[in-house]
């Protein structure tokens, strides 16, 4: 597909966005309005960091080719990477899913592709994407919460991503909500993520089934010894009591997290993104039910929520790619080509 040269976004307004996940790398060329061309999806080779970087470089080239665009017509590359990153040096400090520690992503890709790169944490990329192109467009203050296999939030304050002193501001998934709760993958106990993320819902269902609870889950196609959260959602949509109890419990914890975030930041919007945030997911309804319980108990929360809209993400299919491009557009690092 060729890009229309009369496009009002004009020359050189394109950015390649790359969403680097533990199982797949998604890339595309993103225009000034967040439109995506040349989408590519490749498996992530995590055998060695250099192999992963090569797969990223390959995805960038394929995206450019798919969009029919010369590298000279793009401003640069933005990347959303899981874990802890240092955007100033362009180094991925720790990405457990990728097996990365201190990987110089920016300098490696800049040398390889001769285009400036900017990197950020993937949830921060999601927040920037919503802020520039999605449900938060035009808003100065917002909180973005990613709900999926993990839970994390990132905050945009006065139009800028608030990173905190080491980029961890918003790691609400690892606040302990129950000191006697399950052990979290971070090593903590009773973290929000261990209570309300997708894998936690599946584990709660497995435990209840093992304890002999009756449930439709056993009748569903795909039922086996290792459950997925999708089965829990499917059973809930068919009126299953156990599945609905589990989702109501998770929604109530998430509503408490939203209560704390709203009171901390008084945002214009709280945007729910990530795989579990799609419209129709019963978790969203459970969150709303949970909020309806907190609002009457706290006059100040009621006041705050008068100015805060709870929204689901505006970017769905291309959220990772568009968010990654937003990283490049938001950083102001985008003029420097940092050859070593
Ligand atoms: Zn944790």
Query: How many angstroms does the Cα of residue 172 sit away from the middle of ligand 1?
Result: 9
Q: How many CA atoms lie within 13 A of 204 on its CB side?
A: 23
CATH superfamily of 138-312: ATPase, nucleotide binding domain (3.30.420.40)
pLDDT digits (tens, 9 = 90+) for 292-304: 999 999 999 999 9
- Residue 188's φ and ψ, nearest 5 degrees, are -80, 175
How distant is the alpha carbon of residue 279 from its chain centre?
16
Cβ proximity of 271 and 130 under 8 Å: yes
Query: How many angstroms does the Cα of residue 171 sit away from the middle of ligand 1?
Result: 9
DSSP for 208-263, please give it. HHHTT---GGGGSTT-SSS--HHHHHHHHHTT-HHHHHHHHHHHHHHHHHHHHHHH
pLDDT digits (tens, 9 = 90+) for 228-244: 999 999 999 999 999 99
Sorted by where each begins, the domain ranges of the chain are 14-128+318-331, 138-312
Q: What is the per-residue pLDDT for 280?
A: 79
Query: How many angstroms does the Cα of residue 197 sit away from the middle of ligand 1?
Result: 11
Query: How many angstroms does the Cα of residue 261 sit away from the middle of ligand 1?
Result: 17
Counting Cβ atoms within 10 Å, is residue 226 exposed (0-12), middle (13-18) or buried (19+)? exposed
Query: How many angstroms does the Cα of residue 67 sit away from the middle of ligand 1?
Result: 40
Query: How many angstroms does the Cα of residue 2 sit away from the middle of ligand 1?
Result: 46
Confidence of residue 288 (pLDDT cuts 50, 70, 90): very high
- Mean pLDDT is lowest, of 102-111, 214-223, 325-334, for 325-334
- Is residue 7's pLDDT more than 90? no
pLDDT digits (tens, 9 = 90+) for 15-33: 999 999 999 999 999 999 9
Percent of the chain with pLDDT over 70: 94
- Is residue 10's pLDDT more than 70? no
Average pLDDT of 289-294?
A: 94
Strands of the sheet with 91-95, listed across from one edge? 84-86, 91-95, 100-103
The residue to which tokens 């809209």 are assigned? 309
Q: What is the per-residue pLDDT for 338?
A: 44
Beta strands in 138-281 (DSSP E): 142-147, 151-157, 160-162, 269-273
Q: What is the per-residue pLDDT for 337?
A: 46
Confidence of residue 13 (pLDDT cuts 50, 70, 90): confident
Query: How many angstroms does the Cα of residue 91 sit away from the middle of ligand 1?
Result: 24
- Residue 83's φ and ψ, nearest 5 degrees, are 90, -155
Q: How many CB atoms lie within 10 A of CB 43?
A: 10
Query: How many angstroms does the Cα of residue 186 sit away from the middle of ligand 1?
Result: 4
Residue closest to 105 by CA, chosen among 224, 260, 113: 113
Query: How many angstroms does the Cα of residue 126 sit away from the middle of ligand 1?
Result: 20
CA distances from 324 to 117, 182, 208, 285 (A): 10, 33, 39, 29
Query: How many angstroms does the Cα of residue 185 sit away from the middle of ligand 1?
Result: 6
Query: How many angstroms does the Cα of residue 26 sit away from the middle of ligand 1?
Result: 27
- Joined together, the tokens standing for residue 299 give 């006059």
pLDDT digits (tens, 9 = 90+) for 46-100: 999 999 999 999 999 999 999 999 999 999 999 999 999 999 999 999 999 999 9
Query: How many angstroms does the Cα of residue 309 sit away from the middle of ligand 1?
Result: 27
> What CATH code would you report for 14-128+318-331?
3.30.420.40
Confidence of residue 332 (pLDDT cuts 50, 70, 90): low
- Is residue 333's pLDDT more than 70? no
Q: What is the per-residue pLDDT for 119?
A: 98
Q: What is the per-residue pLDDT for 334?
A: 40
Query: How many angstroms does the Cα of residue 12 sit away from the middle of ligand 1?
Result: 42
Average pLDDT, whole number, for the chain?
A: 93
Q: Return the CA Rg of the chain.
A: 21
Residue closest to 249 by CA, chosen among 301, 177, 187, 188: 177
Cβ proximity of 254 and 283 under 8 Å: yes
Query: How many angstroms does the Cα of residue 77 sit away from the middle of ligand 1?
Result: 31
- Is residue 116's pLDDT more than 80? yes
Query: How many angstroms does the Cα of residue 221 sit away from the middle of ligand 1?
Result: 31
- Give CA angle at 217 (272, 209), nearest 5°: 105
DSSP for 108-148, please give it. HHHHHH-S-EEEEEHHHHHHHHHHHHSTTTT-SSEEEEEES
Query: How many angstroms does the Cα of residue 176 sit away from the middle of ligand 1?
Result: 7
Q: How many CB atoms lie within 10 A of CB 331?
A: 21
Strands of the sheet with 142-147, listed across from one edge? 160-162, 151-157, 142-147, 269-273, 309-312
- Joined together, the tokens standing for residue 169 give 């501001």
Q: How many CB atoms lie within 10 A of CB 79?
A: 29
- Joined together, the tokens standing for residue 99 give 């097996």
Average pLDDT of 274-293?
A: 91
Residues present in the chain in total: 340
Query: How many angstroms does the Cα of residue 110 sit away from the middle of ligand 1?
Result: 34
Q: What is the per-residue pLDDT for 12?
A: 52
Residue closest to 77 by CA, chosen among 42, 112, 49, 126: 112
Domains 14-128+318-331 and 138-312 share a fold: yes
Query: How many angstroms does the Cα of residue 248 sit away from the middle of ligand 1?
Result: 21
Confidence of residue 1 (pLDDT cuts 50, 70, 90): very low
Query: How many angstroms does the Cα of residue 199 sit away from the middle of ligand 1?
Result: 13
Query: How many angstroms does the Cα of residue 192 sit away from the middle of ligand 1?
Result: 7
DSSP 48: S
- pTM of the prediction? 0.92
Q: What is the per-residue pLDDT for 140?
A: 96
pLDDT digits (tens, 9 = 90+) for 142-189: 999 999 999 999 999 999 999 999 999 999 999 999 999 999 999 999
């Amino acid at each position: 597909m060729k890009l229309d040269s009369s496009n009002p976004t004009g020359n050189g307004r394109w950015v390649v966005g790359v969403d680097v996940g533990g199982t797949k790398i998604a890339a595309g060329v993103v225009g000034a309005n967040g439109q995506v061309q040349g989408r590519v999806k490749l498996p992530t080779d995590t055998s060695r960091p250099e192999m992963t970087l090569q797969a990223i470089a390959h995805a960038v080239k394929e995206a450019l080719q798919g969009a029919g665009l010369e590298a000279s017509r793009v401003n640069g590359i933005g990347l959303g990477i899981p874990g802890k990153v240092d955007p100033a040096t362009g180094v991925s400090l720790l990405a457990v899913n990728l097996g990365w520690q201190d990987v110089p992503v920016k300098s490696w890709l800049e040398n390889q592709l001769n285009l400036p790169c900017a990197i950020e944490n993937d949830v921060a990329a999601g927040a920037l994407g919503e802020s520039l192109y999605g449900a938060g467009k035009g808003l100065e203050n917002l909180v973005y919460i990613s709900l999926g296999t993990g839970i994390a939030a990132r905050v945009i304050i006065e139009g800028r991503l608030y990173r905190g002193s080491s980029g961890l501001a918003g790691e609400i998934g690892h606040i302990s909500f129950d000191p006697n709760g399950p052990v979290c993958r971070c090593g903590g106990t009773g973290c929000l993520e261990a209570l309300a993320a997708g894998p936690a819902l599946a584990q709660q269902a497995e435990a209840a089934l093992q304890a002999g609870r009756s449930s439709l889950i056993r009748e569903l196609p795909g039922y086996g010894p290792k459950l997925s959260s999708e089965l829990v959602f499917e059973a809930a949509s068919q009126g299953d009591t156990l599945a609905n109890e589990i989702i109501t419990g998770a929604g109530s914890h998430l509503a408490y997290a939203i209560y704390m975030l709203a009171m901390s930041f008084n945002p214009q919007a709280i945007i729910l993104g990530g795989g579990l945030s799609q419209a129709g997911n019963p978790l969203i309804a459970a969150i709303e039910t949970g909020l309806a319980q907190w609002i009457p108990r706290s006059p100040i929360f009621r006041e705050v929520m008068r100015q805060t809209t709870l929204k689901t993400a505006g970017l769905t299919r291309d959220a990772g790619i568009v968010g990654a491009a937003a990283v490049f557009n938001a950083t102001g690092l985008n003029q420097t080509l940092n050859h070593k």
